[in-house]
Chains A and B, each alone.
Chain A
Amino acid sequence: MARIWKFGADVDTDQIVPGRYAPYMRPDADVADAAFIEARPDFAKYAQPGDIIVALENFGCGSSREYAVEALRRRKVGAIVAKSFARIFYRNAINLGIPLFEAPEVIDSVKDGDTASINLATGEFTADGRVFEMPAMPGFAREIVNAGGVVAYVRQNGRFPGEQV
């Protein structure tokens, strides 16, 4: 079973991966190691593939740095559930194929360290033995994530989701 890593509001991309840990600055390092390296060192050390990030409002605000999302993808984060997301982060995460759920009413009922699982197809979120229903991702986002990210989507379909060709 995966565990929940719970964060507060307005987690900015400098906290997810500080600019000084960008691939540009450390071309030989794996950016996965820098995920939350200063803001949440226990995540950096112990997060396991499939673990779920839960956060309050405006997760991922600040810079456009996709390597913040890339670090979470390489850590194989199973899903991110937040009260709301910042715009560029939301876009980047969908593009890289990370499932996102905006589920404000669930967040306050779960806590850091809970064991949890998410059924990506139904949005059913099980945490500490309790089951919550989450609203599904918007159609276009679901299509991209199901394809494994926007690059895969465009390669498979020859167009963007919703594009008339």
Chain B
Amino acid sequence: MGQTISEQILSHKAGQNVKPGEFVVIEPDVVMSHDSLTPSIIKILKEELAASIKYPERLVFVFDHVSPASTVGTADLQNLVRRFAREQNIRLFDVGRGICHQVLVEEAIAFPGAVAVGADSHSTSYGAVGAFGTGMGSTDVALIWATGKTWLRVPETIRVNFNGQLPAHVDVKDMALKIGRILSISGANYMAVEYHGIDWMPLPGRQTLASMAVEMGAKVGIIPPTGNLPEHLQKPDWLYIDSNAHYRQVVNVELEDLCPQVSIPHSVDHVSDIQDVTGTHVDVVFLGTCTNGRHEDLAEAASLLKGKRIAPGIRMIITPASSREMSKAASDGTLSTLIEAGALITSPGCGMCMGRHNGTLGDGDVCLSTANRNFKGRMGAPTSQIYLASPGVAAATALRGVISDPREL
């Protein structure tokens, strides 16, 4: 019987053919952790496991969640991790370099066919380069540090077929929200989601899609590494699209019929067509995150904001996903267009995505965000509200001061 991409990767790693539902013990190629959880993993390694690190070269640390530090406590814990990384010879990308998931793709640390585990739920993002990327908790990661290994249940796969082409100002983000709407917040629980029909899509869009797979509960969200990708991200010889693969469910989406989608508070699968929410009052517009903080996202917003000013009373906060993406946006004038329009640019990283710094929401604030998650209180006060949408909708909303359709500008 044929195999899905995830089944092939896990078979390759396990050295034997694996089937969905089976438990396998494998050695991940990459183990990522960020500033928020690395201190707790170090603690488990030292105090509970009393172990050393088996393969330091497979580990990578990225400082992005509170970056740069906002309190004495976060500064001290970051210093602790810096010292640990120096002692143990572990790669560390310090404050300002960018969001972990973006950095691992930029640095080609996550690669096609790899198993990349992260102490972060959006580690599904590595599916953008055809890696089996999945999130785990601190104890699982500490055990990988100590033993080099982890256990996994081989997931069933849901296949998503995208057909046709996107209309103007309809975005990959709308594709991601539409899938959330179809599958629901738990529709891919314990499963892999495999996306097809998007060989035309460049890497940044693939990152948007893969990052949001976890919002349906998926273990991985994977795009076959073929088509419009740089040379170093093309598929390894042993990986192929198997026409005999068995899928648990197949979902078809016609892109011509898609319009801008908006996820309404407080659940990512409460998705509406934009016309049902246009005119909704907004206080803050946030453009950033591992889902939509890249140069293409900033450029899309800049193209709509060029020569204009954002609406009075709106705060527009832009947090580039990485130093490299920020530098691209600086050199082609995107950043100055956004600044002249009245936006605030922060240092690269997660920014206000989880409500800890760089624009934490206050009581009753309404935010339209390009992030991936709108749980109650995620960005600050439990009384605040988060709408999720594309960079184009974010720019249109900043201009008008209410949720707006970029196609009508």
Chain A positions within 8 Å of B, measured between CB atoms, are 10, 12, 14-15, 18-20, 22-28, 38-39, 57-58, 61-67, 69, 84-88, 91-92, 95-96, 140, 149-151, 154-155, 160-164
Contacts and interface: CB of A to CB of B under 8 A. Distances in A.
Nearest to B360: A20
A95 B189 contact: no
Interface stretch (B71-79, B229-237, B389-397): B71-79
A66 B377 contact: no
B318 interface: no
B355 A19 contact: yes
A92 B119 CA distance: 11
A84 B186 contact: yes
A155 B35 contact: no
Contacts of A19: 354-356, 378
Interface string B54-83: 000000000001100001011011000000
Interface stretch (B132-140, B327-335, B341-349): B132-140
Nearest to B216: A61
B36 interface: yes
Contact of A26 (B35, B73, B135, B185): B73
B137 A88 contact: yes
Given A24-B74, A66-B138, A160-B25, 14 more contacts: A10-B185, A20-B380, A23-B40, A24-B39, A24-B73, A61-B185, A63-B121, A64-B118, A65-B37, A69-B137, A87-B217, A92-B137, A96-B139, A162-B151
Interface string B135-157: 11111101100010111000000
Interface of B: 23, 25, 35-37, 39-40, 44, 48-49, 65-66, 71, 73-74, 76-77, 118-121, 123, 135-140, 142-143, 147, 149-151, 185-186, 189-190, 217-219, 267, 354-356, 360, 373, 375-378, 380, 382
Contacts of A87: 189-190, 217-219
Nearest to A152: B48
A162 B23 contact: yes
B44 A151 contact: yes
Given A24-B74, A67-B40, A95 B217 contact: no
A153 B246 CA distance: 34
B352 to A, nearest CB: 11
- Lowest 3 CB-CB distances: which A-B pairs, in order? A66-B137, A58-B186, A92-B137
Contacts of A150: 139-140, 143
Given A26-B73, A58-B185, A38 B377 contact: yes
A139 B149 CA distance: 20
Contact of A151 (B48, B76, B354, B373): B48
Nearest to B48: A151
Contacts of A61: 185-186, 217
A88 B136 contact: yes
A64 B137 contact: yes
Nearest to A23: B40
Choose among A18, A61, A155 the residue with the greatest number of B CB atoms under 10 Å from its CB.
A61
A24 B39 CA distance: 8
Nearest to A11: B375
15 contacts: A19-B356, A20-B355, A28-B73, A39-B377, A58-B189, A61-B217, A62-B373, A64-B121, A67-B138, A86-B186, A87-B190, A88-B121, A88-B136, A92-B140, A161-B23
A26 B147 CA distance: 30
Contacts of B219: 87
Choose among A22, A57, A92 the residue with the greatest number of B CB atoms under 10 Å from its CB.
A22
A38 B25 CA distance: 38
B375 A25 contact: no
Contacts of A57: 186
Choose among A18, A25, A62, A92 the residue with the greatest number of B CB atoms under 10 Å from its CB.
A25
A14 B189 contact: no
A149 B121 contact: no
A86 B189 contact: yes
A86 B268 CA distance: 15
B77 A24 contact: yes
A57 B186 CA distance: 8
A86 B217 contact: yes
A95 B219 CA distance: 17
Nearest to B139: A95
B344 to A, nearest CB: 21
A24 B48 contact: no
A14 B378 CA distance: 6
B126 to A, nearest CB: 14
B112 to A, nearest CB: 23
Given A86-B217, A91-B140, A151-B139, A162 B189 contact: no
